[in-house]
Amino acid sequence: MSGGAGAIRVGIRGTGSCVPAKTLKNSDFERMVDTTDDWIIGRTGIKERRVVSEGETTATLAAEAARRALAAAGMRADELDAIVVATVTPDNQFPSTACKVQALIGATRAGAFDIGAACSGFLYALHIARSMIVAGAARHVLVIGAETLSRIVDYSERSSCILFGDGAGAAIVSNEFERGEILPHRIYADGSGYDIMWLQAGGSAERLTPEAMAAGQHFLRIRGREVYKFAVGRFVELVNEQRESNPGIELGLVIPHQVNLRIIESAREKLDIPAEQVYCNIERYGNTSAASIAIALDEAVRSGAIEVARGKLVIFCAFGAGLTWASGALRW
């Protein structure tokens, strides 16, 4: 699906992010599973990741990221028309985590809902927010990608437990903005890959029983080799898709889903893009699923790294469970 061009221009008015204080380093995993710091870095590029402590949840991280985005935008929470939270680790199966965030930040006028597109979730949410504003259904939409993946990771399974971290990133999507015009996004899915990355038990198809928990079906499971092939191929396709869709704008920066440094580097080489034009922070945060691009975008804005793209194209690409994938772009 693709968003059509509209007369109303939509952009990023402000960004924010929040990661837990607690750090889980590779050396910590050496005491938990059969692995080493060198093995983890060599296969993933990850050196450490942040994980929540008692009292922290997806909603608390999301709310703090939202407050920072609102401050950057110079807005009050009660000016928001809608809140969209992308997550696969909601505080509860229902109500939506977005409703919790709405209460926590005091967004008394905003409708609120979650979407579950896994690692593609933030781009799906940007697509929805832009479409709402172009359609005249809203003026200011808070979009958040937030995860506490440490709560569903099996820390006895060495190939996957090393990959994931927690965090949240937010963006105020608005028809009143100075920089970062959001160009049409494209979102995709292929449900035939439903079980390549999934959490098997706990829904209506398979109840969370003692037997399911004993079998580890309440933990995230991932088929790594299939994910690697899928991600590299989609990365290249999605970046090329946005370049072809915006032929008059020079490429400034690519901000990909922080899935695995080997995947990012392999795709970058295929695309023949210089390393300095691909923003990576995976070494510090690991894979934070729907929060990944949102955190990276906020960091790039606040550090000034995004200024290499002034007047140019900032491309987003994501791929994850569902299977889902998405591309997006800003004119910075």
Active site residue 119: yes
**DSSP per position, 175-199:** SS-SS-EEEEEEEEE-GGGTTTEEE
Strands 82-86 and 220-222, sheet pairing:
unpaired
Q: Is 140 designated active site?
A: no
The answer to whether the CB of 62 falls within 8 A of the CB of 16 is: no
> Which helix or strand (DSSP H or E) is residue 170 part of?
strand 166-174
The catalytic position among 119, 127, 185, 317 is 119
- In contact, 95 and 122? CB cutoff 8 Å: no
For this structure, is 185 an active site residue? no
State the catalytic residue, choosing from 26, 185, 287, 317.
287
Grouping H, G, I as helix, E, B as strand and the rest as coil, residue 257 is coil
Closest by Cα among 235, 208, 282 to 48: 282
Burial of 212 (0-12, 13-18, 19+ CB in 10 A): middle
Q: Which is the catalytic residue, given 127, 140, 185, 257?
A: 257
Instruction: Write out the catalytic residue numbers.
Output: 119, 257, 287
